[in-house]
Amino acid sequence: MFNHKAYIFDLDDTLYCEHDYVKSGFYSVASFLAKVNPFLDEEELAEHFIREWKQNGRGKVFNHVCDRYGIQVDVKQLVDVYRKHEPSIHLYEDAVLCLKRLTEKKIPIGIITDGNSSMQWNKLRALGLDKQIPSIIVTDDLGGSEFWKPHPLAFQRMSDCLKVDMKDCVYIGDNPNKDFVTAKKLGLHTIRIVREIGDHMQTKLDQGYEADKKIYSLMEIR
C-alpha cells in the first residue's frame, strides 16, 4: 500500500497504548503510598486514581485523591515516582508484526517521541525498542520541551541518522495537533494511525494538520 525508503514512528498510542502506561504509573504510586501508610489499600487507591483520571483528566489526580484520603504527602514526590517507575506495557500486536516485517526487509526504522526524557526512555526499555530500533530520538534530549514536535529539528536529525532524504521517509503518528504539520512541510509523507483507545483518536483538524493517509492498523503498511 505504501512504498517508502524509511519508516519513522511516533511512540505513544502508535506503537503501544499510552493508557496502559498511565495505569501502570498509578499502580506504582499507590504501591509507594501503601508502603508508607499501612492503613491504605494499594488496589483500592490505584483504582481511585484511575477513576479520577477518567472523570477529570490527569492534571490534579494525586492532589484530589490524596485530599479525599487525608494523605499528607508532597505531590511532587508522587509525580517523581510516577515518572521514574518501570512501566508494565506491551507493544500492540500489529506494531510487533509491522516492525518485524520492516526489519526483515532491511528497511530503515526510526522513532521520534515527545515527553519527559526519563519517562520516554523507561517506556522504550520496557517495550524492548531501545535494543530493537537503533535510531531513536526523544525530543526532550534535544534541549527541552521547546524541541518537542512540531519543532523540525527531530525530523531533520532523524533523516540524517537514517541516511534517507526526508522526501523518501514516512512518519506514522496519532496526534494531528503536532505529528504531521511540520513533517509535511519538510517533505515527509505522513500516516495517521487511528486506534480504539487514545487521547487523540477523535481529534479532527484542518487539512494542514492532518496526515496524508489514515489507517486503522499498522498491518495496512505493506
DSSP string of 142-185?
A: GTSGGGSTT-SHHHHHHHHHHT--GGGEEEEES-TTTSSHHHHH
Task: Give strand pairing partners of 6.
Answer: 169
- Predicted local distance difference test score (pLDDT) of residue 58: 82
- CB-based contacts of 83, cutoff 8 Å, min separation 6: 25, 116, 118, 119
Model pTM score = 0.92
Give CA–CA dist 78/68, Å, rounded: 16
- The length of the chain in residues reads 222
Alpha-carbon Rg for the chain in angstroms: 19
| Selection from 67, 71, 63, 80 nearest residue 29 by Cα | 80
| Selection from 194, 220, 199 nearest residue 14 by Cα | 194
| Selection from 46, 54, 52 nearest residue 25 by Cα | 46
Residue 175, amino acid: N
Per residue of the chain (222 residues), what is the pLDDT tens digit?
A: 457 899 999 999 999 999 999 999 999 999 999 998 888 999 999 999 999 999 988 889 999 999 999 999 999 999 999 999 999 999 999 999 999 999 999 999 999 999 999 999 999 999 999 999 999 999 999 999 999 999 999 999 999 999 999 999 999 999 999 999 999 999 999 999 999 886 777 778 788 899 999 999 999 987
